[in-house]
Each structure stands twice: as structure tokens, then as C-alpha cells.
Structure 1
Amino acid sequence: MKNTVKLFVLLIINFVVQSCKEEPRMDYIDSNGGAPAQVSNVVVENTPGGAILKYKLNKDVNLSYVKAVYEVTPGVLKESKSSIYSDTLRLEGFGTTEEQEVKIFSVGRNEKVSEPVLVKVKPLKPPVSIAYDDLSIETAFGGVRVRIKNELKASLAIVIDADTAGNGVLRPLQTFYTAVDSGVFTVRGLSSKAMKFSVYLRDRWGNKSLAVVRDLTPLFEKFVPKPFATYELPTDQPALSGSYALSNMWDGVASASIYASRNNTPMPQWFTVDLKVPVVLSRMKAHQRVQNFTYNYSCVKAFELWGSNNPSRDGSWEGWTKIGAFNSFKPSGTPVGTLTAEDIAYGYTNGEDFEMPFTPPAYRYIRFKTTETWAVGANQVTISELSFWGEF
């Protein structure tokens, strides 16, 4: 009798457990059903290089999503899709302000497509053309400098070509990528001779601006030879340890071998470099710390350069002259903690260039004064490599 009761109880428990199990979802798709009904009441809002389409959804239970098909450039089609939980389609990538036809389709769960609803859009001036209005190229020390305003913060490529061979053929020189509202980009390593330069903008859909073409002569400068020398003064910030000495900044390579000041030291803080000869500085290049540290933590965001030929041995600022104040630039414009390939190339791999705001006197001793780092509250300074150019 007891065994019979136990068996009965087990059967009841098993039945309850099985009943509580979630049944698999069954979505019935009628492969023989027709295409869903079209959307209606479409309203067009034209935007720079695109448009926003608002519409009324039909109540067809077979509807899966809505899509728009349009041509961004001749022969190049693009699609924009929106689920049944939205009544809006966003179009982008147009390179002109000419009127364009857009086809709006309703797509069923069975992937059958309705007849298109045809609408006309007339995009506003595209971002690549707006930015072109404030695009310029000018001479720089050892190269040329491009200035751009990009008020819409569009993702743009800045393409610089040059006739370096002097045969009348413009060839690719360098391409920068940016999404900041304004910026300055410089190509270096060019000889001081007259040549033709061209710069134009390209967006991610292949739309191109007109080109700015100029005949320019890069300004002459020489590389200040390394190694430099450490010139310690009483108020200078000591290195964290011998492994993070100042001399790591002029070992000739940007690597994991860096200068790092002591932890928990307040800003501003500074160190002194002996260039060994008086130099009329034209520019300085700074490489930040490698990879995930770039544009973050204790990498330098704002600093000053000071020059002297007879610095006071007590570490005071007597005998020093301010050359300029400088700010680090992040090409992507993304917040601290977000890092792009362009950021790493600009701030670490290639190094960031800083031109002197005016032509200073020739100075042998340079004092580097950090006023801010990329991480708020960071009380340490790290630098991978420093280089200088000028006349001497």
C-alpha cells in the first residue's frame, strides 16, 4: 500500500513539473499569405545629406518591418529599415541637394514585399559640403597644415595629395579621419621646396567635396639630435623610479619605456630638458603612453613650454621665458575611455605635433610644465617620447 501511495505522489509531482515548463513559442508564418498592406500618410523632413520619414503603419498582423530603398549616388542603393514598433525611417548618405525618389516597402513575416509607396525627398546641403566651406591648407614647419570646421561632427576623411615629384601629378600624401567639430591636421617630413598641394573631404558613403588646391613651400626646420640630457632642478618632479627616468623620453622610440612622475603628486608639475645646444624651436612632438593609456589616465592634456639659457639653480622660475601653452587634440572627439584606431595612431604611434605660437629666441634648456592630464584628478604624468625641431 505504501509503495502505491509513493508511486501516486511521484506521478502527481511529475505532472505538475511538466505542466510548469514553458511551452516553446510558436509563431505561425503563412508562406502562402499575401504581402502586407502599404504604409500611409508619409511626412518628409529633409535633413543635411538625408531625410526623416514619418508614416502611419497598417494593422496587418503579417507585417514584420518597413524599409526604404534609395540611391545615394548613381547606381549605389542603400536601405533603411524600421521595426513595427516605430513609425520613422532615417535616410542618410546623399551627396547632393537634388530631389530624390525613395521607395517605401512593407515586408511581411513571410518576407513578401508590398508594392512601394513612392515619395520625394530633397536633402539639405550634406555635411561633407558644409565642412568644405571652412576647409583650408597652409604652410607649416616641415610640411603643410589643414584646418577644418565640422559643425555637424560628421565622420569625415581629410585627404591630402601633393605633387612631390614636381611632374604635375598629385599623389596621395596622407589621410586623416575625424568626427570633431573643428581641428588642425599637419603633414610633416617634407622638404622646403615649392610644390602643389590638394585637400578634399570624403564621407563614409563615398561622397567627396571639391578640392582646395594651393602652391605652398614648407618652412625649413632641422631635427634636434638625441640624446638630450637631464637637467635636474630642486623643484622639478622626480621620476617614479629609475625604470621611468626622463631619459626614456629621448631613447629614440615610442614604446612601453616611458617617463612617469611619482604617484599622488599635485598639478602643475614640471621637468627640465637640456637640448645641449641653443635651438630656435619650431615644433615639438610628443608620444603618449601606449594603447589603452592613450588619451586617458596620466597622459598629458594641457601643458606649457618655457625656455632659458641661464636657469636659476634654486628651481625657481627666475630666468625662464614662457614659449607657449598647448592642448592635446583627440581626433575622434570621443569621451575619455573610448579610443579609436585614429586616436592611437595620432596620439601614440605617430605622435602629436605642437607648433610654437611664435618664433622664440634660441634656448638650450626647456622646461615642460604639465597643467592637466586626460583623466580628471590624475596626479601623475606619463610620456613615451619627446622630439624637437628648429634652427641651431
Structure 2
Amino acid sequence: MKKINKYSAKALFSLQILAFVCLLSACKKNEGYNTQPVSTDKTKPDVVTNIKVTNYNGGAFITYNLPNSDNILYVLAQYKINDKTSRETKSSYYTDTVKVEGFATNKPYEVTLYTVSRANVKSDPLTVTVNPDVPYYKLIKPTVSLTTDFGGVHIQALNPNKKEVGVILIAMDNSTQALEVSDQHYTNQDTIDYSVRGFPSEQRKFGVYITDNYGNISDTTLLDITPLFETQLDKTKFTVYRKPSDSEIGYGWDLPYLWDGKIDGYSNGWHTNPGTGKPMQCTFGIGVTAQISRIKIFERPLEYAFFHGNPKNFSWWGSTVDSPQDVVLPQSAPVGAVIGDWVNLGNYRYPNPPSGLQPGFTNQADEKFVLAGVDFLVPATAPAVKYLRLLVHDTWGKGDAAHLMEVTVYGKPQ
């Protein structure tokens, strides 16, 4: 018989252990670590040694030397991140570092380390002190601003490290006479800039705080704010204001259908004529001078949802003069840019299908989303206008024709 050297024997033993672990994994969901005993050796393992701590924002790395034993399975760290929440993290015997995170503030915290054997026997506890730096949610909080907006408030903050945080808006509820959560906005974007609307134009107490993935919350900024007045503009006053640069109409879907209140997808809307190229645009009067707060658009639903000529990227322009002169507007311009008699009110992108499906393979939930319409907010700093121009940059179908079912405009008439 061929003699097996000690290295081959060790490899064979490792393969046997691996096969055993794989067999267990096939029978039970893997939660990241196998806590079932894989050894009959009940000896209490030694503690880790040579502890080093590297702190960072909201957490720390604890590096150590493992005991010299083949019976070690993992290192367990147990700790409290705030007055209420306890956490534990594990690090396998293949590494020499355990990560502890989610601490509520920058102060000393005690972390208890255990070495755990393959028979699920813990070592004696070993206490380590970490001093995490200021957690990111607390770094974001001082940058928060809460200001008045049409029908609500405008929230801004900076998140330069692009961490996952929640921005929570609370507002006084007239029925409960208590501050209730009104909106929850979760993001990892570096710039937080959005509005929450739907409130009457009356003074109300609003507050905003920042939270993280671990349930920590910052202090709350509280302000008494009166939302700006907002109403739906009267569509019976809308008028066609066709100019030479506007797109040709296709299939009889003329501009007045854009404000006739029909969004079912079986009626007519606005449709440009294919083959006439860009720009794909239309121009109309709103019958009053108004500071626009938001424009709700209803794209063509049913099989056209997120497809065909439904706008994907587009801009709204407005004019404050009585009879604005025509001009060919650029396909790209910053918000607030003034070209001739026209000012850029905003550049927009229609949201992706809520289902997450690829355009062209959308489901009924996506069609329902389109039928509900989507609001596109206009900055409160925009001037009051008398005319609107829609400029479609590209469509979901990437063609040279655009279509919409309906437009609803909100704002404050002068």
C-alpha cells in the first residue's frame, strides 16, 4: 500500500470536513456560519490575543491573533450600539479581523469577544473597548435644511459619502394633535433635494431627522412652516399656441386632447407625426399668469406603457410675456436658462417601471402606475408664466414620434 504523507493526510482530512459541511448546507439554509457542532472536542478554546482596534465612522475593525488550534470555528463579537439595541457579528477562522458597526455616537463602547470551537464551545469572554468616529447619519444632520414649498416643504441635505440613510419628515396631525411621520425618503445619493407636498396653505409644525440602517436617529429639526398655496389650474382656459418650431400632429391626435381629462388609452391624446424629426414639442397657453408648482403627465398606458412614443427625457419651458416669440430651443439647457422669451422650468426623466422589468416586458402594476400619472416638480424659484412648452428629448421607444394622453398643471395663479 502507498504510504500517505502527513500533508496528504491533512488534505484528506480537510476534504472530509468540507464534504461534511456541504452535506449539512444541502439540508439546511446557510445563514453565513454553521453553528452545528462538527467536533466532539469539548475543550474550552483559548481567547484571542494581540488585540488591535482601528476605528472609523460608526464602527471599528478589531484585529487579533487566533489561538493555535485546529478546533476553532469563528470569533464572536457581542456589543450594544445604543441604549436599546444589541448586535453580534462573527468572523470565521480564515480571517483575523471582526467588524463591529452601527454605533449611535462617537464614544467608548465595550465589545465582548469569544472564540468558538467546532463543538460550539465558547472561550472565556474578552472585553475590548472601541471608540468609533462620528457616525455618518450624524454628519449629515447639520446639513439639513427645511423650507416652505408649494403645498408642503422642501428638504435638502448633503451625503458626500453616499451612505444609506433615511430622511424622515414628521408633521403635526390635526386629528391626533401629535407629530406623525408624514414621509420617509431613503437614499444613498450624495445630494438630498426633494419636496413633500399635499398640505394646505396653513401654518403647521414640521420636523425632520436622519436615521441609519441600524435604527439610530438624529435629533429633530422642528420649524413652524406655512406651505405655499397651490391649486390645479383650470384646463378650460388652456389654449393652443402653435408655433413654427412645434411638431406636426400625427393621426389626428391634436393638442386640445392633451387637456380633455381622458387618460384611458383608448381616447386621443397628443401625438407628433413620425418622420418629421426633432424637436418633438408642443406649446400652449394656460389662461392665467401662474407660478407653476408641479406638472402631472399621463403617458399612454396599456401596451404602450414604458414603450413607443412615451416621453423618457424631457424639459418644460415657460414664458412670461403676452405673445412669446418662437425660438428653436436646445436639447440640453440648465434649469433657469433663458433663451428668447422662454425660461427652462426643469429637466426631467420619467421613472423606470416600478416592477423592475425591462421596458417592453412590463406588467399590470406598471400600467397602473402610468394610469395614475406622475408629478414633476417645478422649483419654487421659477418665475410665473403664461405659456408652457414641452420639449421631448427622447422616448421609451427611441423613435422620432412622441405622444401623451393628458397634462395637469398645478400652481399659484397671480
Does residue 387 (structure 1) correspond to residue 382 (structure 2)? The answer is no
Separation (CA, whole Å) in 2 of partners of 1:256 and 1:155: 42
Aligned equivalents of 1:79 and 1:67: distance in 2? 7
| CA RMSD in angstroms, aligned pairs only | 4.5
Is the Cα contact below 8 Å between 1:195 and 1:215 reproduced in 2? Answer: yes
Q: Within 2, Cα distance between the matches of 1:116 and 1:128?
A: 31
Residues in 1 aligned to 2:246 and 2:62: alpha-carbon distance in whole angstroms: 61
Deviation at 1:133, TM superposition (A): 0.5
Q: 1:326 aligns with which of 335, 342, 346?
A: 346
**Counterpart amino acid of 1:157?**
G
**Structure 2 equivalent of residue 223 of structure 1:** 232
Q: Pick from 160, 177, 184 the counterpart of residue 186 of structure 2.
A: 177
1:272 aligns with 2:283: yes
Inter-partner Cα distance in structure 1 for 2:89 and 2:127: 15
Work out whether residues 209 and 221 of structure 2, in 8 Å CA contact, stay in contact via their aligned partners in 1. yes
Cα separation, 2, equivalents of 1:106 and 1:323: 67
- Kindly state the Cα deviation for residue 83 of structure 1 after the two structures are TM-superposed: 2.6
Give 1:56 deviation, angstroms: 2.8
Q: Does 1:137 align with 2:159?
A: no
Specify whether residues 108 and 370 from structure 1 end up closer, same or farther in structure 2 by C-alpha distance, changes over 3 A only: farther
- Please, which of 390, 394, 399 is the counterpart of residue 368 of structure 1? 390
Amino acid at match of 1:369: L
Unpaired runs of 5+ residues, structure 1, are 1-21, 339-343
Residue 333 of structure 2: aligned partner: none
Matches within 5 A, 1:1-392: 25-26=19-20, 29-165=38-174, 169-226=178-235, 232-237=242-247, 247=257, 251=261, 269-275=280-286, 277-286=287-296, 300-301=312-313, 303-307=315-319, 309-311=322-324, 321-328=341-348, 351-360=375-384, 362-363=385-386, 365-371=387-393, 386-388=407-409, 389-391=411-413
- CA deviation after TM superposition for structure 1 residue 111, in Å: 2.4
Change (3 A) 1:93 1:236: same
Structure 1 residues 349 and 367: CA distance shift in structure 2, 3 A: closer
CA contact (8 A) 2:263 2:298 kept: no
Q: 1:262 to 1:44 in 2, by over 3 A?
A: farther
Corresponding residue SS for 1:131: helix
My pick for the range that moved more, 250-259 or 207-216, is: 250-259
Q: Given the two structures, how large is their TM-score scaled by the length of structure 1?
A: 0.72
Aligned-pair CA distance for 1:321? 2.2
Identity of aligned residues (%): 25
Q: Which runs of 5+ in 2 are unaligned?
A: 1-14, 22-36, 330-338, 359-367
- Measured in 2, the distance between the counterparts of 1:163 and 1:35 equals 57
> Which letter does structure 2 place at the counterpart of 1:391?
P
Task: Tell me the alpha carbon deviations over residues 301-327 of structure 1, each in whole angstroms, 9 at most, x when there is no partner.
Answer: 562413264355x8757x962232524
What is the distance in 2 between the residues matched to 1:247 and 1:358?
27
Query: Residue 306 of structure 1 contacts residue 320 of structure 1 at CA under 8 Å; is this kept in 2?
Result: no
**C-alpha spacing 1:352/1:304, structure 2 compared with 1 (3 Å):** closer
Distance 1:331 1:208, change over 3 A: farther
Q: Which amino acid aligns with 1:211?
A: T
Tell whether the 8 Å contact from 2:240 to 2:255 is kept in structure 1 after alignment. no
Size of the aligned set, in residue pairs, is 354
Tell me the alpha carbon deviations over residues 262-321 of structure 1, each in whole angstroms, 9 at most, x when there is no partner.
Answer: 78987664332443x12323322345869xx88xx9754562413264355x8757x962
